Structure 1
Amino acid sequence: MSNSDDIKPDSAKGFALLGHSDQGGRGDGCQVMINKGHAFVGHMFSGGFSVIDVRDPRKPETVNFVAAPPNTWSIHLQTHGDIMLVINEFDFFSQYQSETDYYGGSVNETGDQNFAAGIRVFDIANPAEPREIGFMPVDGKGVHRIWWDGGQYAYASILPWGYTDHIFATIDLSDPTKPREVGRWWIPGMWTAGGEEPQWTNRWALHHGLEANGIVYSAWRDGGLVLLDVKDPTKPEMLSHLNWSPPFGGGTHSCLPLPDRGLVVVADEAVADECADGVKYIWVVDVREPTNPVTISTFPTPSDADYRAKGGHFGPHNLHENRIGSFQSSDLIFATYQNAGVRAFDLTDPFAPREVAHFVPPAPKNWTDYRQGRPRVTHTCDVYVDANGLAYTTDFCGGGLYILEYQGSSQR
């Protein structure tokens, strides 16, 4: 528990802090899902996931923690109805203390550490007591992130042996107790075990993709944006590939399709301290013709403080993903900016996005990041906005869960 009255944001406009949780002393948080009045938070350094009762957003209460297997990440998860999917992947930060090593090239070297690799399925009919009911193993280093909003198929980034890095996979969930891979796609050059050779020297790897109307809009780190036709989910086919790195710094991380407007919002992740990898942007891409995507604008870079000099990462990370049952809008976009907190943007004019709100938490009091020499500033990681306009944000390094009320217009 913690008292939100004791928390003074570094900067705030258009957001009010309602509640805060230290997540049972495990303040590091990555992806957050809200379901059945509970927040499910994957941890970056604490090895598992936590469940926080948020039915009273002013008094959140941590009610459970489920540990991951040794040397294993469970940083990302998905919920829908009574089912939750949790990734299992090798804990890369136990191997790569230098961020340059992790983000700079292929991460699929073999190793002798024991870890779990795959997708775990939990029954969350009782949200405070997740019950494991299934597991899909991956022959490799595991699963990084999943997109699943109900239905038969989930879409995941997986890291099998024999590939340079994470590739795309379709997962059949018709029997949640026995999920199985039924489709696969990768950028030519990634399958080294099949004799392919990459034509790049940086890191081309799928972070994740979101599906809308039979198209998956996928982010490929330094490889940019790829649109995949999944009308037959077992046979993904590329529709188009757009990459702005170089000249821009890469790190393409998150896509938010807005199919009613023929747009996709794409965030490039800042992965180096003090913008050593360049200033990163959130791009607006016109995809009315999915075989020919065109960038038309970028979101404004936060300028209310000198975040570049603040230390740590300054730049985009995650986008609120307009999930079923959550706040959904094609005009109001929520994004996290790491040391610059969480931001809301008005996209009414796609050629001139403008910022309308922000909340920058203070530096975490309890530091969970076990890497040496990391700058002790907030690193806002993920944001989930519920149907009532409450924004739940996590901190990568130890700040816990912040529950914010957006006080601007609720355009939909």
Structure 2
Amino acid sequence: MKPDHARNMRLIGHSDQGGRRDGIQIMVEKGFAYIGHLFSQGFSIVDVRDPKNPKPAGYVAAPANTWNVHLQVADNLLLVIHGKDVFADSAFADEASYYKAAAGTALGTARHEKARDWDAGLAVYDISTPGQPRRIGFMPVSGGIHRIWWTGGKWAYVSALLDGFSDFIFMTVDMSDPANPREAGRYWLPGMNLEAGEKPNWAANAKYGLHHAIVDGDTAWGAWRDAGLVVIDVADRSKPNLVVHRNWSPPFQGGTHNCLPLPDRDLLVVLDEAVLDDFEDGLKNIWIFDVKDRANPIPVATMPVPQDAHYATRGAHYGPHNIHENRPDTFQSSSIIFSTWQNAGVRVFDISDQYRPREVGALVPPPPTGLMDKRPGKKPIIQSCDIFVDKAGLIYVTDYNAGLYVMEFNG
């Protein structure tokens, strides 16, 4: 299998995930990859003990009208989100109708407008037998969860859609009893609690909702989509408090998706996600912030955009989607950043000099053999989505249509 473009990287393996080639978040643990699906309503397990020959090893179906796009692995447990399968709903055939509206409004949870036809909450699986998840617990969340940050231990952190709120908010979850996770605390931007009479002071087409937060110590670095960066103090998990809110949309395009702290360098890598086809939402950036003072984050650079082709005119999504998040027991670096750029594949950056980041690796896989995304107007163009780099440096990349790729970086 020959990539469309490669620089200091090579493809070593591929899996069609048992015919369910759509993938969002991926976690690799003890030789097995756990992959949330965007269109296949569930999650898959792939045996990657031989990374050159990954093999489908199982599939767990989601309830009707429900997706399991995001998941986390630690402590022999797998946490899986349950939320509305947005793109199976004809109302969202045009992605803009989801990304240009508050989730609570779009899904009818903000003011209880619609009957609930999906499963909503956090599922917990025992994976002490690798590759064989066994469900042991569930925490209901009224509108559902979008993404989780959990690296083991007592505390998990989720973006939760609650009845009466305009969009996803920050929630701390007590995992002391994995069979019975429970909410411990919550934080939202003022204006989001519609049921309490709060009124948004942002435009109706701005998506002011938490994608997810990465937590380091007692600080949660929240990627709040069109609201930018929200820094939250979680020293008291029952009462998260705002440290600072920074937003650059407008004049920039919003869509903040990841906020990765590099604590040994007092830096924060912040990615704004491209969410619309044909470059409709314009250039999105991966920013580098100086966070010596967490209450005063200062942008100092952006990653260079791909120069090997004019990806903005290729169609489908072009621009950043995700970064490897330096989880414990994975590849960890405060100078090498792995990222996915959808139709521009995978990009690796060296930020040893945070003021002058450099692209040092790239790989654009070949086009998908078919489409899992059946929405009108979709094209067979690579859409590299999530990225996970294991301790040995092997890179696992999902795609909306093309299955799982395993890669190496030789930079």
Q: In the alignment, residue 341 of structure 1 is paired with which amino acid? A: G
Structure 1 residue 301 displacement after superposition = 0.7
Q: In the alignment, residue 3 of structure 2 is paired with which amino acid? A: P
Q: Which residue in 1 is equivalent to 2:68?
A: 74
- 1:57-80 C-alpha deviation (Å, 9 max, x unpaired): 011111100000010010000001
Q: Which residue in 1 is equivalent to 2:161?
A: 159
Q: 1:177 aligns with which of 176, 179, 182?
A: 179
- Residue correspondence of structure 1 range 53-92 to structure 2 within 5 A: 53-92=47-86
Structure 1 residue 181 displacement after superposition = 0.6
- 1:77-122 C-alpha deviation (Å, 9 max, x unpaired): 0001310000000111123111111000112124335210000000
2:318 aligned with 1:314, yes or no? yes
The 1-side partners of 2:78 and 2:357 are apart by: 34
Q: 1:131 aligns with which of 109, 130, 134?
A: 134
The 2-side partners of 1:73 and 1:303 are apart by: 35
The question of whether the paired residues in 2 share the 8 Å contact of 1:27 and 1:366 is answered with: no
Q: In the alignment, residue 194 of structure 1 is paired with which amino acid? A: A
Q: Which residue in 1 is equivalent to 2:42?
A: 48
Q: Which residue in 2 is equivalent to 1:3?
A: none
Structure 1, unaligned stretches of length 5 or more?
A: 1-6
Q: In the alignment, residue 253 of structure 1 is paired with which amino acid? A: H
Q: How many residues align?
A: 400
Q: 1:9 aligns with which of 3, 24, 33?
A: 3
The 2-side partners of 1:87 and 1:111 are apart by: 21
- Residue correspondence of structure 1 range 231-242 to structure 2 within 5 A: 231-242=235-246
Q: With structure 1 as the length reference, what TM-score do the two structures score? A: 0.96
The question of whether the paired residues in 1 share the 8 Å contact of 2:75 and 2:153 is answered with: no
SS of alignment partner, residue 393 of structure 1: strand
The question of whether the paired residues in 2 share the 8 Å contact of 1:255 and 1:319 is answered with: no
Q: 1:405 aligns with which of 378, 401, 408?
A: 408
The question of whether the paired residues in 2 share the 8 Å contact of 1:253 and 1:318 is answered with: yes
SS of alignment partner, residue 190 of structure 2: coil
**Gap change, CA 1:120 and 1:340, over 3 Å in 2:** same
Q: In the alignment, residue 101 of structure 1 is paired with which amino acid? A: S
Q: 1:293 aligns with which of 297, 307, 313?
A: 297
Structure 2, unaligned stretches of length 5 or more?
A: none
2:108 aligned with 1:106, yes or no? no
The question of whether the paired residues in 1 share the 8 Å contact of 2:271 and 2:321 is answered with: yes
For structure 1, which segment, 94-103 or 289-298, has the greater mean C-alpha deviation from structure 2 after superposition?
A: 94-103
SS of alignment partner, residue 342 of structure 2: coil
The 2-side partners of 1:124 and 1:251 are apart by: 33
2:190 aligned with 1:188, yes or no? yes
SS of alignment partner, residue 323 of structure 2: coil
The 2-side partners of 1:174 and 1:88 are apart by: 20
The 2-side partners of 1:76 and 1:116 are apart by: 14
The question of whether the paired residues in 2 share the 8 Å contact of 1:207 and 1:221 is answered with: yes
Q: 2:375 aligns with which of 355, 371, 378?
A: 371
SS of alignment partner, residue 405 of structure 2: strand
The 1-side partners of 2:379 and 2:213 are apart by: 30
Q: Which residue in 1 is equivalent to 2:253?
A: 249
Q: In the alignment, residue 351 of structure 1 is paired with which amino acid? A: Y
Q: Which residue in 2 is equivalent to 1:4?
A: none
The 2-side partners of 1:128 and 1:327 are apart by: 21
Supply the RMSD in Å over aligned alpha carbons: 0.8
SS of alignment partner, residue 273 of structure 1: coil
Q: In the alignment, residue 187 of structure 1 is paired with which amino acid? A: L
The question of whether the paired residues in 1 share the 8 Å contact of 2:212 and 2:258 is answered with: yes
SS of alignment partner, residue 209 of structure 2: coil
The question of whether the paired residues in 1 share the 8 Å contact of 2:279 and 2:315 is answered with: no
The question of whether the paired residues in 1 share the 8 Å contact of 2:371 and 2:379 is answered with: no
Q: In the alignment, residue 36 of structure 1 is paired with which amino acid? A: K
Structure 1 residue 264 displacement after superposition = 0.6
The 1-side partners of 2:151 and 2:301 are apart by: 28
- 1:297-356 C-alpha deviation (Å, 9 max, x unpaired): 000011110100100111111110001110000000001101101111001000010000
Structure 1 residue 213 displacement after superposition = 1.9
The 2-side partners of 1:176 and 1:81 are apart by: 10
SS of alignment partner, residue 193 of structure 1: helix
The 1-side partners of 2:340 and 2:87 are apart by: 21
Q: In the alignment, residue 131 of structure 1 is paired with which amino acid? A: R
Q: In the alignment, residue 282 of structure 1 is paired with which amino acid? A: I
Q: Which residue in 1 is equivalent to 2:385?
A: 381
- Residue correspondence of structure 1 range 188-207 to structure 2 within 5 A: 188-201=190-203, 202-207=206-211
SS of alignment partner, residue 315 of structure 1: strand
The question of whether the paired residues in 1 share the 8 Å contact of 2:7 and 2:361 is answered with: yes
The 2-side partners of 1:232 and 1:314 are apart by: 40
The 1-side partners of 2:130 and 2:97 are apart by: 38
The question of whether the paired residues in 2 share the 8 Å contact of 1:248 and 1:278 is answered with: no
Structure 1 residue 191 displacement after superposition = 0.3
Q: In the alignment, residue 98 of structure 1 is paired with which amino acid? A: D
Q: In the alignment, residue 37 of structure 2 is paired with which amino acid? A: H
The question of whether the paired residues in 2 share the 8 Å contact of 1:297 and 1:351 is answered with: yes
